[in-house]
């Protein structure tokens, strides 16, 4: 109890212990659901864009409930930039690999030369790889956009 | 000037609405969109890609090029926002002193 009181006294204006505790509990499930939406895009509504937005929203919630520095402890500016690059690169790189291994651009069956899964299974698996790339790019871009716009470009305190 | 803008808006809107009258009815099975390639996707997509969700199959495979540039657009948006708005902390201290 005393610990809670001390914690509450340390809070700045606009921060609430209830909201912070609730977000602490919710954010793992939000992120898990985001991963589920990306991975389960083959069987249900969802996919890279939607799952990426859900994952990005978890970082936005973290930045709103606590402050931006706290949110950036979990994914730094550099990491998110790298992830955005990686995501776009995964998509374009998959397409280019298909072209290199003797198919058309983004014709995933051509990757059968690398790992023999069968041309049709590769079309399914290629979609999955590409969706993961989209998810990474969208997640980190959501977070970056919120951080930069919310902190006046300084990436410190935020809203 | 405001009246002119309102007039232009109304006329353009009326012309666009008039244009929609030539559209096929909503969900018309005989419309060109439904007869040309949608039928092929519905019949062949699961068999050709082994993805039960047709939307994902079309988005990720048949229209992969489109989806790729959607991703690139989002990536470019993030890049543009960072390069325009990001400031170093030292700038702020300089302007304060």
ipTM of the complex: 0.82
Task: Tokens for B2, please give them.
Answer: 């405001």
Number of domains chain B contains: 1
Q: What average pLDDT score do residues A32-55 get?
A: 92
B8 domain residue, yes or no: no
Q: Residue B9 falls within a domain, yes or no? A: no
Nearest CA in chain A to B78: A141
At residue A140, the pLDDT reads 94
Mean pLDDT of A119-140: 92
Looking at residue B91, what DSSP letter applies?
H
Q: Flag whether B22 is in a domain.
A: no
- Mean pLDDT to the nearest integer, B6-29: 91
The per-residue pLDDT of chain B, averaged, comes to 86
What's the sign of the alpha-carbon dihedral A111, A117, A123, A125? negative
Q: Which of A102-106, B62-66, B90-94 has the highest mean pLDDT?
A: B62-66
- The answer to whether the CB atoms of A134 and B55 lie below 8 A apart is no
Is B82 among the domain residues? Answer: yes
Residue B97 banded pLDDT, cuts 50, 70, 90: very low
Whether residue B43 lies inside any domain: the answer is yes
Range of the domain at B63: 37-87
**Residue contact A120–B70, C-beta within 8 A:** no
DSSP per position, B24-89: PPTT-TTSHHHHTTHHHHHHHHHHHH--S-HHHHIIIIITHHHHHHHHHHHHHHHHHHHHHH---H
Task: Test B71 with A144 for CB contact under 8 angstroms.
Answer: no
Whole-angstrom distance, CA of residue A141 vs CA of residue B9: 35
Structure tokens at A12: 């700045």
Chain A residues at the B interface, defined by Cβ less than 8 Å, are 41-45, 47-49, 81, 84-85, 87-88, 91-92, 95, 105-106, 108, 120-121, 123-124, 126-127, 130-131, 133-134, 137-138, 140-141, 144-145, 148-149, 152-156
Suggest the residue from A46, A88, A122 to mutate for an interface test with chain B (most B CBs closer than 10 A): A88
């Amino acid at each position: 109890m005393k610990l809670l009181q001390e914690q509450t006294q340390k809070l700045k204006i606009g921060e609430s212990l209830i909201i912070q505790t609730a977000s602490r509990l919710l954010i793992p499930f939000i992120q898990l659901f985001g991963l589920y939406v990306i991975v389960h895009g083959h069987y249900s509504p969802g996919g890279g864009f939607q799952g990426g937005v859900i994952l990005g929203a978890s970082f936005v919630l973290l930045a709103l409930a606590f402050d931006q520095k706290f949110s950036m402890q979990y994914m730094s500016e550099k990491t998110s930039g790298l992830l955005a690059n990686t995501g776009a690169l995964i998509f374009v790189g998959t397409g280019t690999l298909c072209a290199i291994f003797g198919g058309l651009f983004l014709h995933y069956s051509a990757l059968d030369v690398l790992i023999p899964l069968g041309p049709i299974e590769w079309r399914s698996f290629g979609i999955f790889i590409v969706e993961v790339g989209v998810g990474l790019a969208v997640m980190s871009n959501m977070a970056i956009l919120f951080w930069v716009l919310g902190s006046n470009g300084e990436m410190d305190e935020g809203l | 000037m405001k009246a002119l803008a309102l007039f232009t808006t109304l006329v353009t809107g009326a012309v666009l609405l008039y244009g929609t009258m030539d559209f096929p009815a909503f969900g018309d099975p005989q419309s060109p969109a439904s007869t040309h390639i949608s039928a092929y996707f519905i019949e062949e997509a699961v068999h050709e890609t082994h993805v039960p969700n047709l939307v994902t199959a079309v988005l990720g495979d048949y229209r992969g090029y489109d989806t790729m540039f959607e991703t690139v657009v989002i990536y470019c948006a993030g890049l543009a926002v960072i390069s325009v708005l990001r400031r170093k902390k030292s700038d702020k201290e300089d302007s304060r002193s």
